[in-house]
Amino acid sequence: MRNSCSPTEFTVLLPDARAHGVSDGPLATYGLLERNDIHQWFDFLATQDHPHCIFGFAESMGAAQLLQSLDTHPRFCAIAAESPFANFREIAYDRMGQPFHLGPWVGRTILRPLVEVAFLRARLKYHLNMENISPEDSVAATTIPILLIHGQIDSNIPVRHSQLIHARNPSTKLWEVPNADHCGAISSVPQEFETRLLAWYELHQSTHGEPHATIIGPNGRLSVYRDMDIPDLRQKADAGSPVARSILGICYLCGIDVEVDYVDYKEVFQLLSSAGTSRTVVNLARMYAEGLGISKDMSEAIRLYKAVANAEFHAQLSLGRIYSRGDGVPADPHEALAGCGKTRLESSPVP
């Protein structure tokens, strides 16, 4: 699979969870048993393809299961989890209040006996201790890099669950997505979602066990240290290093060891784009298209995308989207197909 933000190709495993789809299992256990399933999937990929890195991504209950799989010590290079719950008791309290459009206080107080009865029944009938379903406990004990993604208006699993997980391990990164509901980041801000997720994986990609990662820079891949030294990067960027400028720009865009800062991001990437680096031109075009830290200007965004469309897959895809939706310009199916046609022709499956 080739994605729209990175020249990297990925082999992707999309399994059905226990008791879902075509997977076996009499019932879902919200992570108690699924954590071992995920470890087996990991071992299958490692044996089948021998990749340098395996990443994890999951949403909602799947995200909670993925986080709990860290207890079984799979060697993920990094994972991202969107809209997970912090622990089963806390989400049970939420479920008690949601039918009445009330908060978790209903489950903690008035309807708490129902929660206790359900936990006892699971223990007696299925021999499952629901108290052990706790993504936050698993995250607290791991050193694997974790990106937490959560919509600020999530009406299914409130954002406080990711906040609780993050509080247990402050080294995790938490991206709270404005105006996004449950698992809605990719619908609310599709390009930012892609950029953040892929930059996270690129940052934490290991090679031969060495303590460094790779990140997409202006001319391909750049080796960078796993722990960002922001002052050192700023010093090297000010001295004119395109490598340092590229890494620093990604850090500003994705909030890696710094607060997200579109102004500094624009300043860094304007310097790189003036040198003719196509990927940074795409990043600047996106800022104009989405109004990130600057006034939205679709004409400038289109001009920049077209300037590098022959070299940049993401520029082609973005132009196709703009013309198909009529975003700031008259809808033009011919222009849309021209862009999307290029992306299809240049995409290549992994055997």
Residue 240 lies in a domain: yes
Question: Are the C-beta atoms of 326 and 314 separated by less than 8 Å?
Answer: no
**Domain count along the chain:** 1
Residue 241 lies in a domain: yes
Assign residue 201 the CATH number of its domain. 1.25.40.10
Question: 249 lies in which domain range?
Answer: 197-346
Residue 203 lies in a domain: yes
Count the helix, strand and coil residues of the chain and give each as a percent rounded to the nearest 5. Answer: 50, 10, 40
pLDDT-derived band at 349, boundaries 50, 70, 90: very low
pLDDT at 34: 94
DSSP state string for 185-224: HHHHSHHHHHHHHHHHHHHT--BTTBSEEEEEETTEEEEE
Question: Which is more confidently placed, 260 or 16?
Answer: 16
Residue 6 lies in a domain: no
Question: Are the C-beta atoms of 133 and 60 separated by less than 8 Å?
Answer: no
SS3 9: strand
Q: Which two tokens stand for residue 68?
A: 């709990």
pLDDT-derived band at 95, boundaries 50, 70, 90: very high
pLDDT-derived band at 5, boundaries 50, 70, 90: very low
Please give the average per-residue pLDDT across 109-113, as a whole number.
95
Cα distance between residue 47 and residue 148, in whole Å = 28
Return the ∠ at Cα 228 (arms to 223 and 231), rounded to 5°. Answer: 115
For the question of whether the overall pTM of this predicted structure is more than 0.85, the answer is: no
Question: Are the C-beta atoms of 80 and 200 separated by less than 8 Å?
Answer: yes
Residue 234 lies in a domain: yes
Q: Which residues of 162-173 are buried (b: 16+ CB within 10 A; e: fewer)?
A: bebbbebbeebb
Residue 287 lies in a domain: yes
- For residue 174, report the phi and psi dihedrals to the nearest 5 degrees: -115, 120
Residue 189 lies in a domain: no
In this predicted model, what pLDDT tens digit does every residue of 209-253 receive, in sequence order? Answer: 433 333 333 223 333 334 457 787 778 777 877 667 666 776 776
Cα distances (angstroms) measured from residue 237 to each of 10, 44, 175, 262: 31, 42, 26, 17
Residue 223 lies in a domain: yes
